[in-house]
Amino acid sequence: MIGSVRGQVIERSATGEVLVEVGGVGYRLAVPLSAIPALEPGSSTFLFAHLHVRDDAMVLYGFPTRDERDTFEVLIGASGVGPKLALAILSVHDPSALRRALADDDLDALTAVPGVGKRTAQRLQVELKARLDVPDLDLVDAPAGGPTPRGEVRAALSGLGYSSDEIRDVLAQLPDDAAVEDLLRDALRALAVSRT
């Protein structure tokens, strides 16, 4: 099993593939699109790796951080999620943003990934919450099976007609340990300022 690759970047593509030479051997790795800008041809790199073996191919996936590789491995363990979809998810959301989307019950963030529709997002929401380390601070005082305070604020803002982009931006600015009423008040203030 190949766990990591350290070497010189020979080439990269806009489609998310990089060629890394290690001891005279070139390894082709599929990487999240967010990693491509840092992988300059001629530069040295270190990538955590996952070797995915199928009947017809062996594909090597590379990640700048261990957290991204571990999240990728959790994603491909979910039903209906193959390596391509898992890589697409990590190309749109880094692991912490993905955990935040799950903690906030943010289906819009999941459907922003190409190939993920509303039904798939709902299934992923349920399955991944159990598999990934979703931040406990968002789940404190939430009734069993009920929405988190941030999830309630998201629903309230959506009901008031704010766009998913506006809601996502304002939630990123809010503290993690406040009551629903305080979070909603702060969110409305921030949104009022951003619209002026």
Region 140-164: mean pLDDT is 67
Q: Say what the pTM is.
A: 0.68
**Tens-digit pLDDT profile for residues 115-125:** 888 888 888 88
**Which of 61, 63, 43 minimizes the C-alpha distance to 52?**
61
Domains, the chain, with CATH or none: 4-64 (2.40.50.140), 66-134 (1.10.150.20), 139-196 (1.10.8)
pLDDT tier, 146 (very low <50, low <70, confident <90, very high otherwise)? low
Give the whole-angstrom CA distance, residue 182 versus residue 179: 5
Question: What is the pLDDT, as a whole number, of residue 119?
Answer: 87
Higher pLDDT, 178 or 140: 178
Region 173-191: mean pLDDT is 81
**Which of 148, 113, 116 minimizes the C-alpha distance to 134?**
148
**Which of 78, 93, 71, 83 minimizes the C-alpha distance to 127?**
78
How many alpha carbons fall within 13 Å on the CB side of residue 132?
A: 29
